[in-house]
Amino acid sequence: MRSSLVRQVLILLALALAPGVGEAVYFRHRISWQSAVLPSELVTVDQARTWGGNVIWVDARPDEEFASDHVPGALSLNEDQWNELLPQFLAVWSPGKKVAVYCSSLSCNASREVARRLRREAQLPDVFVLEGGWEAWLKKNR
Amino acid sequence: MLNAEVSAHGTTSNIKHRASNIFWRILGLIIAGIFIYAGAIKALDPVQFASDIDNYKILPWPISVALAFYLPWLEIFCGFALVVRWLYRGALSILTALILVFTLATIAAKVRGLDITCGCFGHASQNWSFPAHLATNVAILSALMALWFQSAAKRSATTAG
Amino acid sequence: MKTPIVAFALSIIISLSARAELKWEQTTVELHPTAADKQAVGHFKYQNPGKTPVHFKSVHASCGCTTAQTQKDEVPPGGSGEITATFNIGDRTGTQVKTVTVETDEATNQKTVLTLRTIIPQQLEINPTFVFWKQGEKPDPKAITVKVGKDFTVKHIKVTSSSPDFQTKVEEKGNGEFKIDVQPQETKNLIASTLTIQPEDSQKVFYATARITNSPVVQ
C-alpha cells in the first residue's frame, strides 16, 4: 500500500512538470532567472548615454529634491502630483523615444512605481528604470 | 435496485452511508475546486507569483522562479485527481504537504516581521489579514486530513470486507 | 525548511526574556482611507514591559511620502506610547505599502520595521490614460475604457475635452463599464487635450490625455 502511495505522488509530481516547463519557456522573456528585477526594465547610466537625444529623463523624486538638482533636461514626475505632472511629460514624449526613470539610489522604490504606471496606465513602450538612480548618475557625471 | 447510489468503493446502499458518501464527495469537490482555482490564478501570472514567493525571503530567487512555474500546475493536477478520484491519496498527500509548508512559511514571515501580500490565492488575496490567511489554511488542512482519514477508513473497510 | 522553524523557536525564546524591549501591539497596520482623504494615519502602539528605559535612536520612513513621529524619545519602564505614521496619498492608487524603521537602544532588538498598508479606493479605473495619433495618421477614434471600482456605484460619467479639436463620445456598456471614444478633427498639427472624466454626483475628477505626437525619427 505504501509503495502505491509513493507511486501516485511521483506520477502527479511528474505530470505537473510538463505544463510547468511549458510556461517557463513561454514566459522566458518576461522573467529573469538571475535577478528579481526584469533585466529589460533596467538601464545603466552608460547604456542610457548611448541613446543620446532620444531619451527622456524622468525624475521620480519629491519636488524639493528635483528642485535642488536633477539630470539636465529631466522632467519631474512623481506620485504625489501625478495628475498634474503627467500631461507635461506626455507633451514631451513621442513614439520612438526611450524613457529613463530615476529616483535617489539603488534602494528607492519610486522610480519603479512611476515606470510601472507609465507602462500600465499610459501604455508607453520603452520605459526603463535607471540602475543606481541619481547616485549612479552623479558618480558618472560630476 | 439501488445500484445508482453505490459509491466508487462499493459500499452498501444504506441511507446513512449514502448521505455520508455524498458529504465526503462534496467536501472533496470543494477542496479540489479551491486548489484548482488557486492553481489557475497563479498559473496565469507566474511572474507575479515568483515575486510573491520571493517576498517570504526563504528561498533563493531562481528557486522561487522554478516553483512559480511548477507549483500552480501541481495544485491543478492534484485538484483534478481529487475530482476524478484517480491517484486520490497521492493528491491528498501532496496538497497536505503544500498547505503545511505554506502555513509554516506564512508564520515564519509574520514572526520575522515581513509584510506578505501573497496568500493561497496568489495576488488576489493580497488584502486579507494574517489571521484570515491562517484560519483559511487551517480549515483547508483540516478538510484534507479529514478526507485522508475517510479514505483510509474506506480502504480498510473494503479490504476487511 | 529548517530556517523558519529555527527562527520561530528563537523568537519565542527571545521574547520570553523580558529585558529592555518594546512590545508592539501591531507591527502592521492596514488603513482604508476614503476617496476624499488626502492622508492616511496609522498608530503603532508600544509598551515597555522591561525594567530599564528604552530610547529611540531614529525613526525613519521608506519614502518621502510618509512621515513618522514618536511622542517622546524615551520610554520609561512600564511606560507606553505610540508612533504615528502619516502617509500622504497624493495621486497614488491601489494598495500602497510603506515601512517605517524604528531604531532603539534595546538589548536584543535594535531595529523594528513597522508596516503601513494603505488600500486606496479607486472609484474609476481608466485605461489607458493616454491616447495619441502620430502626425499624419488617420484620425480614427481611439477608445478609453472606464471601469467603476468594486466598492462604488457610478451610473453616469461626464467627459469634457479641454480642446474643441478633440471630440468625445461616452458609451455606457453596463456592469460598471464605460467606453469613451476620442477622435481628433485632424492630425496635421501637434494639438493636445486634457480629458476630464467626472462621475455624476461626485467631486472627484479623473484625467486622461489625448494628443497628436511627432512621428518617430527614421534613423
A86-110 pLDDT, tens digit each:
999 999 999 989 999 999 876 678 8
**Among B112, B117, B126, whose Cβ lies nearest the Cβ of C7?**
B112
* Higher per-residue pLDDT: C111 or B73: B73
How far is it, in rounded angstroms, from Cα C215 to Cα A12? 54
Residue C212 has pLDDT above 90, yes or no: yes
Burial class (CB in 10 A: 0-12, 13-18, 19+), C39: middle
Helix residue ranges per DSSP H, B85-129: 88-111
Question: Looking at the whole model, is its pTM more than 0.80?
Answer: no
CB contact at 8 A, B143 and B135: no
**Which residue shows C-alpha cell 479623473?**
C206
Confidence at residue C101, expressed as pLDDT on a 0 to 100 scale: 87
Average pLDDT over residues C69-76: 85
Nearest-10 crossing angle of helices B130-160, B88-111: 160
Three cell numbers written together for B97: 504537504
Q: Do A8 and B90 touch (CB under 8 A)?
A: yes
Confidence at residue C195, expressed as pLDDT on a 0 to 100 scale: 96
In chain B, which among 45-84 make CB contacts under 8 A with chain A? 46-47, 50-51, 54, 61-62, 65-66, 69-70, 72-74, 76-78, 81
Residue C28 has pLDDT above 80, yes or no: yes
* Higher per-residue pLDDT: B108 or A115: A115
How far is it, in rounded angstroms, from Cα C10 to Cα C114? 20
What phi, psi does C110 have (nearest 5°)? Answer: -75, -30
Q: What is the mean pLDDT of chain C?
A: 86
Amino acid identity at C73: D
Q: Is C194 at the interface with chain A, CB within 8 A?
A: yes
- Looking at A60-74, B8-22, C138-152, which range is the least confident one? B8-22
Using an 8 Å CB-CB cutoff, list residues of chain A that contact chain B: 1, 5, 7-13, 15-17, 19-21, 23-24, 27, 30-31, 33-36
- Residue C59, beta-bridge partner list: C102
Residue A2 has pLDDT above 70, yes or no: no
Residue C219 has pLDDT above 50, yes or no: no
> How is chain B split into domains, by residue range?
15-156
Query: Which of C99, C117, C120, C150 is best to mutate for the B interface (most B CBs within 10 A)?
Result: C117
Q: Do A9 and B94 touch (CB under 8 A)?
A: yes
- Cβ-proximal residues to B139 (8 Å cutoff; 6+ apart), any chain: none
Confidence at residue B133, expressed as pLDDT on a 0 to 100 scale: 77
Which of B50-54, B130-134, C21-25, C185-189 has the highest mean predicted lDDT (pLDDT)?
C185-189
- Looking at A35-49, B64-78, C65-79, C139-153, which range is the least confident one? A35-49
Q: Is C38 at the interface with chain A, CB within 8 A?
A: no
> How is chain C split into domains, by residue range?
20-120, 124-213
The CATH T-level fold of domain A39-141 is Oxidized Rhodanese; domain 1 (3.40.250)
**Distance (Å) of CA C107 to CA A24, A45, C102:** 47, 42, 14
Q: Which residue of C has its CA nearest to A61?
A: C64
Within 13 Å, how many C-alpha atoms sit on residue B58's CB side?
26
pLDDT tens figures, A37-46 = 555 688 888 8
In chain C, which among 159-188 make CB contacts under 8 A with chain B? none
Query: Which of C131, C213, C214, C215 is best to mutate for the A interface (most A CBs within 10 A)?
Result: C213
Amino acid identity at B127: N
How far is it, in rounded angstroms, from Cα C54 to Cα C186? 69
Q: Is B32 at the interface with chain A, CB within 8 A?
A: no
Three cell numbers written together for A94: 513621442
Three cell numbers written together for B143: 478538510
C20-120: which CATH number, 3.20.20.80, 3.90.1150.10, 2.60.40.10, 1.10.260.40?
2.60.40.10
pLDDT band at B108 (very low <50, low <70, confident <90, very high): confident
Q: Do B115 and C117 touch (CB under 8 A)?
A: yes
Residue C66 has pLDDT above 70, yes or no: yes
pLDDT tens figures, B31-71 = 999 999 999 999 988 888 887 888 777 888 889 999 999 99
pLDDT band at B1 (very low <50, low <70, confident <90, very high): very low
What residues in B contact A8, CB-CB < 8 Å?
Answer: 87-91, 93
Confidence at residue B110, expressed as pLDDT on a 0 to 100 scale: 75
Residue A107, SS3 per DSSP: coil
**Among B50, B70, B89, whose Cβ lies nearest the Cβ of A16?**
B70
What residues in A contact C123, CB-CB < 8 Å?
Answer: none
SS3 of chain C: the string is CHHHHHHHHHHHHHHHCCCCCCEECCCEEEECCCCCCCEEEEEEEEECCCCCCEEEEEEEECCCCEEEEECCCEECCCCEEEEEEEEECCCCCEEEEEEEEEEECCCCCCEEEEEEEEEECCCEEEECCEEEEECCCCCCCEEEEEEECCCCCCCCEEEEECCCCEEEEEEEEECCEEEEEEEECCCCCCCEEEEEEEECCCCCCEEEEEEEECCCCCC
Confidence at residue B129, expressed as pLDDT on a 0 to 100 scale: 65
* Higher per-residue pLDDT: C66 or C196: C196
Residue B138 has pLDDT above 50, yes or no: yes
Report which of C119, C130, C97, C118 is spatially closest to residue C206, judged by C-alpha positions.
Answer: C130
- Looking at B93-102, B152-161, C206-215, which range is the least confident one? B152-161
Q: Do A31 and B70 touch (CB under 8 A)?
A: no
pLDDT band at C141 (very low <50, low <70, confident <90, very high): very high
Neighbour subunits, B (≥3 Cβ pairs < 8 A): A, C
**Which residue shows C-alpha cell 467536501?**
B27
Q: What is the mean pLDDT of chain B?
A: 80
How far is it, in rounded angstroms, from Cα C116 to Cα C119? 10
**Among C88, C209, C217, whose Cβ lies nearest the Cβ of A87?**
C209
Three cell numbers written together for C159: 467627459
* Higher per-residue pLDDT: B112 or A65: A65
Q: Is C19 at the interface with chain A, CB within 8 A?
A: no
Q: Do C63 and A121 touch (CB under 8 A)?
A: no
What residues in A contact B43, CB-CB < 8 Å?
Answer: 19, 23
The CATH T-level fold of domain C124-213 is Immunoglobulin-like (2.60.40)
What percentage of chain A exceeds 90 in pLDDT? 54
How would you label A112-124 residue by residue, b for 16+ Cβ within 10 Å and e otherwise?
bbbbebbeebbeb
Confidence at residue C206, expressed as pLDDT on a 0 to 100 scale: 93
Query: Which of A50, A59, A64, A86 is best to mutate for the C interface (most C CBs within 10 A)?
Result: A86
Report which of A96, A114, A86 is spatially closest to residue A52, judged by C-alpha positions.
Answer: A96
Residue B13 has pLDDT above 70, yes or no: no
pLDDT band at B2 (very low <50, low <70, confident <90, very high): very low
**Among B46, B77, B88, whose Cβ lies nearest the Cβ of A16?**
B77
Within 13 Å, how many C-alpha atoms sit on residue B6's CB side?
8
Three cell numbers written together for B111: 514572526
Confidence at residue B3, expressed as pLDDT on a 0 to 100 scale: 45
Q: Do domains C20-120 and C124-213 have the same CATH topology?
A: yes
**Among C132, C207, C215, whose Cβ lies nearest the Cβ of A83?**
C207
Residue B16 has pLDDT above 80, yes or no: no
Q: Do A36 and B61 touch (CB under 8 A)?
A: yes
Three cell numbers written together for B157: 473497510
Three cell numbers written together for B51: 515575486
Q: What is the mean pLDDT of chain A?
A: 88
| Other CB atoms within 10 A of residue A35 CB | 11
Confidence at residue B126, expressed as pLDDT on a 0 to 100 scale: 47
pLDDT band at A15 (very low <50, low <70, confident <90, very high): very high
pLDDT tens figures, C4-27 = 555 555 555 544 444 557 889 998
> Number of A:B CB contacts under 8 A?
68
